[in-house]
Amino acid sequence: MARGIEARLGEGFLTTKLDAILNWGRQYSLWPYVFGTACCAIEFMSTAASQHDIARFGAEVLRYSPRQADLLMVCGTISYKQAPILKRIYDQMSEPKWVVSVGACASTGGMYDNYCTVQGIDTIIPVDVYVAGCPPRPEAILDALLKIQDKVRGESVLNDRQKDFTGILDR
């Protein structure tokens, strides 16, 4: 539950208008942090290049500081060695933040069912949208971006985002 002035206002005209304007701004100016580790990062490069042009969706401002980004795109395999770094980057991002798991490896471990590969990043951090493919085409990555935009549209200042996630690294 929200704690500020909006909590007193309740679900009235002001808060819905506040939601509308905030969400409108947020959904068309997502700043992605690309956690690119493997092949999917090359497809992300294609997504950002001229032909697919992620700028059409307002998400071309790639931030390489987690503190400036609100969309974490995990592109590639996450190994157990990498996992604490991913978690740290996620923790460093300020709210509100969203996570896209790009490709089979990030989503499930993909073809690497073995001793060193994390079987899906949702065992470490919460994920909002999963993208299938090994690697996914740029269109699929753009589609995930649209899904995140939908999700952003449904948010309200009155509702706290879920924060009770516990992953394998939360001891």
Partner 1 sequence: MNTTALQHIQAAFPDADSRENLDSVVLTVPPEAVTATLTKLKNDPQFGCSLLLDVTAVDFLTYPTPQPTRFVVVYILRNPESGLQVQVRVPVADPDTGIPSATTLWGSAIWGERETYDQYGIHFQGHHDLRRILNHWQFVGHPLRKDYPIEQRQICYETDPLEKEIKARLKHNGVEDTSMAELHTEIMYLNMGPAHPATHGAIRILTALDGETVLANVNEIGYLHRGFEKTAENRTYNQVVPLTDRLNYCSALMNNIAFVKAVESWMGVEITERAMFMRVILGEFFRIQDHLVCLAAQLLDLGGLTNYWYLYNQKEASYDFISRLTGGRLTTSFTRIGGMYRDFYEGWQADMEQQLLDIEMGVGDSLKLVEKNRIIHDRTQDVCVFPAEKALSYGFTGPCLRASGVPFDLRKDKPYYHYDAFDFSIPVGSKGDVYDRLMVRFAEIHQSISIVRQAMKMVPDGPIFVRDVRVALPPKEEVYNNIEALAGHFKLVFEGVRTPPGEWYDSYEAANGELGFYFVSDGSGTPYKCKVRPPCFYMMGGFHKMVEGSMIADVIANLSSLNIIGGELDR
Compute the radius of gyration of the chain from its Cα atoms: 17
**What letter would DSSP give residue 160?**
P
- In this structure, the strands spanning 98-102 and 32-36 are unpaired
| Residue 171 interacts with partner 1 (CB under 8 A): yes or no | yes
Decide: is 137 part of the binding site for partner 1 (CB under 8 A): yes
Q: Which of 24, 84, 159, 161 binds partner 1 (CB under 8 A)?
A: 84
* Other beta carbons less than 10 A from residue 94's beta carbon: 10
Nearest distance in Å: CB 170, partner 1: 10
Regarding 46 and contact with partner 1 (CB under 8 A), the answer is: yes
Total residues interacting with partner 1, rule: CB under 8 A: 40
**Position of tokens 């969706």?**
57
Instruction: Report the distance separating Cα 107 and Cα 86, nearest Å.
Output: 14
> Pattern 25-44, binding to partner 1, x per CB under 8 A?
----------xxxxx-xxx-
Q: How far is the CB of 139 from partner 1 (least distance, A)?
A: 11
Q: Would you count residue 108 as binding partner 1 (CB under 8 A)?
A: no
Work out the number of other CB atoms within 10 angstroms of the CB of residue 17. Answer: 10
Q: Tell me the CB-side half-sphere exposure of residue 131, using CA atoms within 13 A.
A: 28
Q: Which residues bind partner 1 (CB under 8 A)?
A: 35-39, 41-43, 45-46, 49-51, 64, 76-77, 79-86, 89, 105, 111-117, 119, 134-135, 137, 168-169, 171
